[in-house]
Chains A and B, each alone.
Chain A
Amino acid sequence: MQALVAPMISALAGPVAAGTAATTAATALQMGAAVAGGVGAMADAKGQAEAAKVNAFIGRTRAMQTDVSARQGLDSELATIRATLGANGQRPGVGTAAVMDTLRSVRARDRRIEFGNQMQLSADYRTQGRNAGRLGGYALAGGLLKAGPSLFDLYELRKG
């Protein structure tokens, strides 16, 4: 971007009368500030988008990790129950089976909820990243747009 602005200023300033040097410089600075502001905003948004992308990926990973961890916890709980029952000599019967089923279903529900939450978070980050990227583009366009009047003034000045 810097490579684009400098020649523009010099090209415009050249033929403009020396008498309007301050005006030319001021106008050129005003235009440069607008362009540079746009470019800066765009770069900032890009950074935001990248961070959001990373977080979206992390969120997904965390969701999976939560699911795995929940499954492992259920297995260990069921094993504990079975061991306890066995230790008590109780024979798995219908009753025990029902408890274990209930446990299973409760734990599966909790696990799905937790997984879904983590996935949702990941999706939010992904959206946030996309938004930031889009925002960056608009910021650049906005900066260029803001430089427009100054560019017109320079043109006018050049015409004299």
Chain B
Amino acid sequence: MAEIKKIIPNAPLSNFRQAAPDAGGAFRFLAGAMEEGYKFLAPAAEAEMKVHGEALGSEIARQQIGNPSAEITASSMGADGFNASLAQTESGGNYQAQNSEGYVGKYQWGAARLADFNKANGTSITMEQFKASGPIQEQAQKWHIANIDKSVGDLVGKVVSGVTMTKNALRAMAHLGGIGGARKFVESGGTYNPQDSNGTSLLDYAVTHGGTETTASSSSGPYAPPTMLRDADGKLTARLYSPLAGPLLQVSNAAAGVAYQSDVMLKGMADMMDISNQFALNPDGFRQAATSYVDDLVKAAPDMFKGDIRAGIEKVVEQRFLGMVEERQSDIRQRAANSSGALADRWSDTLAQAVATGNPDAIASAQAELSSVLRARETLPGLSWTAEQSQNMIIKAHQEGERIAEKAKTDRGNKMKADLSLISDAAQAGRTSDTEALLQDPEAQALFPDQWREAAASVMLRDEMPSFMKMTPAEQQQALVDMKAQPVSADWEMDLYGAAEKAATANAAAWEADPIKHAGEVLTEKPPALPTVEEAMNQPGSITEALAARVAYAETLKAKGYVDFTSVFTDDEAKTYGALFGKETPPEVKAALAGAVVAGAGKDAARVFKELKSDDPVTLRAGMLMARTGDSVVPVMAMNGQAMLDQGIVQPPQKATTVGAVSPAIASALGVLPNAEAVMGDTLKLATAIYAYSSSPNATDTTSEKERMDSALQLALGQSTNKRGELTGGVQTVGAGSVLLPVGMSGEKLNSALETAFSGMKQGTGLSVGMDGFAPTVSLNLGASQSPDAAKIWTDAGAGSAPMLGGEPLKAEHFKRAVLTPLGGNMYSLSLNVNGQMVDVGTATGAPFIFDAAKLIAHANGGVASTVSPLAHPGQSDGPVQSAITQYPILRDLGLQVKSSIGASDAVIEFWPPGETGDKSYPRPSELGANKPGIEIYSNKARPIDILGDVVSHYLVNTDKKISGYYSDFQKSLTSDQHKTLQEQYKYAQENNGENRPYSEWLKTSGIPAYFRGYAFDQWQNPKELYTKEQIAMFDEMMIYLKSAKSTGKK
């Protein structure tokens, strides 16, 4: 069968779609772009979350354990923090608080707000219930805050008056001023800002409680604050990201964990150190405290960190515990070492002391103790003390002991030496050292034989010759000579002589250096005390008597031969009293003091002033002037003038730089004095002060500066005018030149007396004087001999003969060439001015020609030395007489003469009326002129009033009419009792004083005058008992008369 072949036409068929439409490409692109963006941001986000997490972790740690540098603010604590802050300002946290306006509780709620709460919550709480219950208040506050947040939450973030309205700020304002008030404040832009009764405004409250709360969007810091959530336990914790969150957030979680853990660990370790410091050296206490601390820490930690924190901190606790154990052990070791060292030192000292004493028992005991301590020391752990060191310590203790013993020996030797020296010194001063028993110590004698012998000899001298120290230097020398003359039979005699010689030398030096002080040390009769500076300042008069007594004492010292000069003050007193006359003392006080000194020291006042060591020469010079002249006017002028100069009130004269510049005559007169420079300098100063006073604005002197200065110089030199109108003292022209005259001496009179004396000399035929080389040669052509009277005048004037030159007497015409040179007092030497050359005149024996100017004048006046005041006589102890004359004007013109015979009699003074010659055994002293009353002073206890008493009772009763009346009245008024007393006195005098005159004569010359003086002149003790009232009244009246009146001198 034929095959049927298939014939297939090309059938047209629909074709399938080969490609699907591309939908969703844009989204794929978007997805891809986002994916790329994520990849780009992921690392940054990761880092960010790490930082964020760390901050969060640290914050949690801080909240749990605290961190002073990162305080959790109220705002960051949420509503609780706000409430705490609010409670603090409202009530201080007191639930029971209630104020005067009825606001109560911790948050100070009012009734209106409580009603709101009741209404909102369907409760009916009363104010009392509210106040009583803390929980109710807290619950209500919670509602209150929530209510506020809800009502004004939309205002958060607004800025009013520069304050950002945080949630807390709005809460605070709403609490203070109500919700409406808070809203009104914000919406008014701060214009509505009322204050409460305490003056707190809404804005204030917003600022106080608003804190720095920030929202996330306005955060100023790099991190958002953690969100605080309350956990199941009611505690606030910072929220971490969910564990289910993506890897980025997990980074934060992990970082927070690490940060939290590290912070907690760090703080924990720091706290461990603190705790361990609190439990220093007490590891167990530390462990207990630390364990408790760790428990608390772990309990508070988030669960996931609990294990790690406990493990970490406990490791630290354990390390610290071990460290503390080590510290304690080290401390114990150190204490043991120290205590052992101290014990060793102590016993070492004890051993040294024992060795020093040499007591074998004590040494053995101390050494045993020391060894025992040292053995214990050797066994101490950690100290490495060796047996060799122990041995060294014992050896050193022994050496130290020997050294101490040696030193003690030396010390004792030194002390012994010092004691022996003290014994010597004390004995030589007539005193006893309390260490004198040392002389009995054979050791002292053996160790210091020389010193011992000296001390023993000094003591012997004191004990055997008690009077030796009281002898005058001359007597001591004589005693030494006597001792030397004695044959020596033993060593001690030589020692005694040596001691005496040494004592005599020291004594002589002491008398020379400070006689008054030395007298106070060695003499039985001590120098009369002077008033203190304060007493003297307040009562210048107090010086007078004390100084008079002191001057008399000084005179006695001189009279007895202790010294050959008069020194009134000790060196110390001179300084102290000198200060009284210093520049600080007002002039009137100085004047008063100077007056008192003059009154007390009399004519010695000048020397007293010289002795004083003052920084004000003018005052002293003025005082001396006062002493010399007895006149206080010029000195007071000088003192005031000096004060003016010191204060700059007046200026010193410009040109008066030297005495010569003012007055060449005065300068030449002073130039011949031995210490011319000093005298001129001092005189110029004094004159300047006087000048200053006369130049004061108050002065009316109109003479020229030069004249005034010249006159001031003369005043300074003591010039004045006597009652006859004669110029006395100062520098005057006598003979051929200007001469310094003593106070009170008339230059005119001296000149005429000199002329008279010369006129008796033979008239000569001429005089020629030539120069041969440098030595003057004089040849005289002599004529007839002088008149016989001439030589007598000169002899009476104290010169040995008539003035001679070249073996021949001077002639009458030489008067014109006569130049006098003052030698002190009234004594002058005579020389001749031959063509400008001074030629010394001598006596017949060739001695310098020296004469007494006063006597010369007296002779010229017919033998009356009336012009010379007793004050002008130097070298006589008439201090009390001078004082008496100063104090009692009645004595002034009597021409009283004085002789000092201190110690010559047991009496105090003796009055010699004119004409009284005395008897053979006790004649009138030649120094007292026969026709003038005289006083002889025997004791330095003589007072001015004693002088007055004697003069009155022995002399003025006869010469003064008024006193004569008093005396006869007294004699008549004597009672029989008083007569009996007189008889008893006569009997006593007979028995004790060798009185041998008949009673009637005694009564007349001694008895009644003494009775007359007893009360009036303060010479008897308790005198009033011995007188009648009338007599006493009469004496008082008489004393007033004596103090005020000048004697008429006539009966």
A residues within 8 Å of B by Cβ? 1-2, 14-23, 25-27, 29-30, 32-37, 39-44, 46-48, 50-52, 54-55, 58-59, 61-62, 65-66, 69, 73, 76-77, 80-81, 99, 103, 125, 132, 143, 149-150, 152-153, 156-157, 159-160
Question: CB of B23 within 8 A of chain A?
Answer: yes
Which residues of chain B have C-beta atoms less than 8 A from A16's C-beta? 216
B20 touches A51 (CB 8 A): yes
A44 touches B48 (CB 8 A): no
CA distance A20 to B21 in the complex (A): 42
Number of residue pairs A-B, CB distance < 8 angstroms: 177
What is the CB-to-nearest-CB distance from A130 to chain B, in angstroms, rounded to a whole number?
14
What is the CB-to-nearest-CB distance from A54 to chain B, in angstroms, rounded to a whole number?
5
CA distance A150 to B12 in the complex (A): 56
Which residues of chain A have C-beta atoms less than 8 A from B112's C-beta? none
Question: CB of B245 within 8 A of chain A?
Answer: yes
Interface residues of B in 224-253 (CB under 8 A from A): 224, 226-227, 239, 241-242, 244-246, 248-249
Residue of A nearest to B24 (CB): A43
Contact for B17 among A27, A51, A77, CB less than 8 A: A51
User: Are A156 and B17 CB-contacts (below 8 A) given A17-B216, A66-B11?
Assistant: no
A–B pairs, 29, beta carbons within 8 Å: A15-B217, A16-B216, A17-B223, A18-B216, A19-B48, A19-B52, A23-B248, A23-B249, A26-B37, A26-B38, A30-B34, A32-B30, A37-B28, A40-B30, A41-B28, A43-B25, A43-B27, A44-B28, A46-B23, A47-B22, A51-B17, A58-B14, A58-B15, A66-B13, A143-B31, A152-B245, A153-B248, A156-B241, A159-B227
Question: CB of B41 within 8 A of chain A?
Answer: yes
Contact for A156 among B42, B44, B51, B249, CB less than 8 A: B249
B224 touches A27 (CB 8 A): no
What is the CB-to-nearest-CB distance from A89 to chain B, in angstroms, rounded to a whole number?
16
B20 touches A48 (CB 8 A): yes
Question: CB of B488 within 8 A of chain A?
Answer: no
A73 touches B41 (CB 8 A): no
What is the CB-to-nearest-CB distance from A45 to chain B, in angstroms, rounded to a whole number?
8
What is the CB-to-nearest-CB distance from A154 to chain B, in angstroms, rounded to a whole number?
9
| Closest CB pairs A-B (n = 8) | A43-B24, A17-B224, A40-B27, A51-B20, A33-B34, A69-B11, A40-B24, A43-B23
Interface size class of B (residues with CB under 8 A): 35 or more
A19 touches B20 (CB 8 A): no
Contact for A27 among B8, B9, B223, B246, CB less than 8 A: B246
What is the CB-to-nearest-CB distance from B25 to chain A, in angstroms, rounded to a whole number?
7
CA distance A140 to B4 in the complex (A): 59
CA distance A22 to B45 in the complex (A): 5
B20 touches A50 (CB 8 A): yes
Question: CB of B365 within 8 A of chain A?
Answer: no
Known A99-B4, A159-B239; 10 more pairs at CB < 8 Å: A15-B217, A19-B219, A23-B41, A29-B34, A33-B33, A37-B31, A44-B22, A44-B28, A65-B11, A157-B249
CA distance A62 to B33 in the complex (A): 44
Q: Which of A40, A46, A99 has the most CB of B within 10 A?
A: A40
Q: Which of A26, A132, A149 has the most CB of B within 10 A?
A: A26
CA distance A159 to B239 in the complex (A): 9
Which residues of chain A have C-beta atoms less than 8 A from B245's C-beta? 152-153, 156
A41 touches B45 (CB 8 A): no
B41 touches A22 (CB 8 A): yes
B4 touches A55 (CB 8 A): no
Residue of A nearest to B47 (CB): A22
CA distance A113 to B537 in the complex (A): 167
Residue of A nearest to B221 (CB): A19
What is the CB-to-nearest-CB distance from A153 to chain B, in angstroms, rounded to a whole number?
4
Contact for A26 among B8, B20, B41, B219, CB less than 8 A: B41
Question: CB of B222 within 8 A of chain A?
Answer: yes
CA distance A37 to B36 in the complex (A): 13
CA distance A80 to B1019 in the complex (A): 211
Which residues of chain A have C-beta atoms less than 8 A from B241's C-beta? 156-157
CA distance A152 to B250 in the complex (A): 13
Question: CB of B896 within 8 A of chain A?
Answer: no
Contact for B31 among A21, A34, A103, CB less than 8 A: A34
Question: CB of B1040 within 8 A of chain A?
Answer: no
User: Are A156 and B242 CB-contacts (below 8 A) given A46-B23, A99-B4?
Assistant: yes
Which residues of chain A have C-beta atoms less than 8 A from B19's C-beta? 51
B13 touches A62 (CB 8 A): yes
B24 touches A42 (CB 8 A): yes
Which residues of chain B have C-beta atoms less than 8 A from A29's C-beta? 34-35, 37-38, 41
Which residues of chain A have C-beta atoms less than 8 A from B22's C-beta? 44, 47
Which residues of chain B have C-beta atoms less than 8 A from A51's C-beta? 17, 19-21
Question: CB of B49 within 8 A of chain A?
Answer: yes
Which residues of chain B have C-beta atoms less than 8 A from A59's C-beta? 16
Contact for A37 among B25, B27, B244, CB less than 8 A: B27
Interface residues of B in 857-909 (CB under 8 A from A): none
CA distance A43 to B30 in the complex (A): 14
What is the CB-to-nearest-CB distance from B757 to chain A, in angstroms, rounded to a whole number?
135
Which residues of chain B have C-beta atoms less than 8 A from A26's C-beta? 37-38, 41-42, 44-45, 248
Which residues of chain B have C-beta atoms less than 8 A from A69's C-beta? 9, 11
CA distance A66 to B7 in the complex (A): 15
What is the CB-to-nearest-CB distance from A32 to chain B, in angstroms, rounded to a whole number?
4
User: Are A39 and B24 CB-contacts (below 8 A) given A150-B246, A152-B244?
Assistant: yes
Which residues of chain B have C-beta atoms less than 8 A from A77's C-beta? 4, 6-7
What is the CB-to-nearest-CB distance from A75 to chain B, in angstroms, rounded to a whole number?
12
CA distance A62 to B12 in the complex (A): 9
Which residues of chain B have C-beta atoms less than 8 A from A35's C-beta? 31
Which residues of chain B have C-beta atoms less than 8 A from A47's C-beta? 20-24
Which residues of chain A have C-beta atoms less than 8 A from B223's C-beta? 17, 19
B248 touches A27 (CB 8 A): yes
Residue of B nearest to A121 (CB): B16
What is the CB-to-nearest-CB distance from A147 to chain B, in angstroms, rounded to a whole number?
10
CA distance A103 to B2 in the complex (A): 12
CA distance A32 to B308 in the complex (A): 39
A44 touches B23 (CB 8 A): yes
Residue of A nearest to B223 (CB): A19
Q: Which of B4, B6, B33, B44 has the most CB of A within 10 A?
A: B4
CA distance A36 to B32 in the complex (A): 9
CA distance A25 to B41 in the complex (A): 8
What is the CB-to-nearest-CB distance from A150 to chain B, in angstroms, rounded to a whole number?
7
Interface residues of B in 155-180 (CB under 8 A from A): none
CA distance A37 to B7 in the complex (A): 55
Which residues of chain B have C-beta atoms less than 8 A from A76's C-beta? 7
